Amino acid sequence: MNGYSAFSPQGRFADWRLATQSIIGFWAFYLVTVLLRGLFGPEAASAIGYRAINAALGLVLTFLIYVAIRLLAREGSIRRMAIVAAVASLPAAVIMSAASLKMAMWSDQMGEQSKITTQEGIAIVQRGQNVRIIKQGGDELEVNLPPVEEIIASKLPRLIADGTVTWYFLLAAWCAFFIAMTQQHRTRITELRLAEAETAAHAAQVRALRYQVNPHFLFNTLNSLSSLVMSGRSDRAEDMLMALSTFFRTSLSMDPSADVSLAEEIGLQRLYLEIEKVRFPDRLEVNIDIPDDLAEARVPALILQPLVENAIKYGVSATTARVELSIHAIRLDGGRMQLDVTNRSIGARSKKAAAPTHVGTGLGLSNVSERLHAHFGSRADVRFGPIPGGYQVSIAMPVDDDD
């Protein structure tokens, strides 16, 4: 199976590249927005410095959240992943809030001197907690503000709680984005597996239906061959062996699930009918009519085999009269073609010969019907029933010319 699964032990961190790229992109976007906003502030350089540190810390904590999701909810539902993400984001938000306050205090302590001059000519100079107000006449007033640590310490729980809420929603935004990507990936993998399973099931069905043909045909042929040998008709037995060898060499070299041209399919049936002509030299007459424009139409390999077998078994073996076995193809409207396999008595020497029967298990017709459905769905159909003096099976399927 192609693709990986982040929900299996082997693929626990199989999507780490995608997660890393999303985390870096997320915090890079955050830093860019802070930079753009800082360009309009008086202390852009210092603000940008500690915001970059915050972004680096956030990147590390977000990656730890990803690890927690993969360890605790790797095989769980999306709901479980969301719960793990929500719980893991809370301590990360607290750490981010506390770190931001610490960065703010450090930035204030290390801040450079700033000066603002009002329209009245009053200059306000600040360095750390020291503020000096200088008037035009030279008078100066100096004020020492309380340390930032004291201001923060007095309101620490509230400040951390407010910061936690802000950072929590920021981290939750990444979690929601990552879970959405995970769900999309899971859906894509599921669809891929379903498609591959459907293809495999279809191929297995076609192979199984195709392989039902060979044992049945082989049994009938060997039984006829045995009858020829026991009756002393060794020359006919030799001809049948040669035809049988050619038939199986040709048919078994095919891919069981492959399609062949109608000309190739008819060629295989000619080989089979050559074998049957050895059994019924005076009672079997073959008539095949395939238009040139349908010779390259694609059909499932050996799709006609059960129908021809049934025509021999129930149409030729069941009567002493001469029987015409015909295979006829015509093109239908709507891009389809029809193949008719008909057995009809052309001379009756007994009551048994006058009314050929077609009573069997129905395996051959069922096989053909199921194979056509597997290949073409509702675009193909099978019809069968008695006709005057014989029996006819008609199959219709889409025409796929091999240009």
Residues 6+ apart with CB under 8 A from 22: 174, 177, 178, 181
∠ CA 45-48-54, nearest 5°, is 150
Query: H or E element: which one contains 142?
Result: strand 140-144
Q: How many CA atoms lie within 13 A of 209 on its CB side?
A: 28
pLDDT at 13 over 90: no
Write out the H or E segment, with its range, that includes residue 274.
helix 262-279
The pLDDT-based confidence of 312 (bands split at 50, 70, 90) is: confident
CATH number belonging to domain 212-398 = 3.30.565.10
Give the model's pLDDT for residue 401. Answer: 59
Reply yes or no on whether the pLDDT at 353 is more than 50: no
115 has which bridge partners? Answer: 125
* Rounded Cα gap, residues 344 and 324, in angstroms: 5
Out of 32-46, 164-178, 200-214, least confident range: 200-214
- Cα–Cα distance between 146 and 124 in angstroms, integer? 17
Q: What is the pLDDT of residue 4?
A: 38
Distance, CA of 183 to CA of 189 (rounded, Å): 10
Is residue 242 over pLDDT 80?
A: yes
- Between 125 and 83, the more confident residue is 83
Residue 105 has a pLDDT of 66
Paired residues of 286 in beta bridges: 325
The residue with greater pLDDT, 223 or 149, is: 223
Distance between CA atoms of residues 188 and 214, nearest Å? 40
Residue 246 zone, left/alpha/beta (φ > 0; ψ -120 to 50; rest): alpha
CA dist 387 → 230, 280, 384 (Å) = 36, 23, 9
pLDDT band at 194 (very low <50, low <70, confident <90, very high): confident
What one-character-per-residue DSSP string does 329-387 give?
EEEETTTEEEEEEEEEES--SSHHHHS----S-SHHHHHHHHHHHHHHGGG-EEEEEEE
Q: What's residue 316's pLDDT? A: 85
**pLDDT one-digit tens code per residue, 197-219:** 566 556 655 655 555 555 666 77
For residues 107 and 346, the model is more confident at 346
C-alpha span between 138 and 49 (Å, rounded): 35
Is the pTM higher than 0.75?
A: no
- Predicted confidence at residue 355, as pLDDT, reads 45
Q: Round the average pLDDT of the chain to a whole number and report it.
A: 77
Rounded-to-integer distance, Cα 339 and Cα 291, Å: 11
- d(C-alpha 323, C-alpha 348), whole Å: 9
Asked if the model's pLDDT at residue 135 lies above 80, the reply is no
- Domain residue extents for the chain: 9-110+149-202, 212-398
Which DSSP state fits 401?
B
Closest CA to 301 of 248, 336, 340, 254: 254
Query: Rounded distance, CA 144 to CA 127, Å?
Result: 10
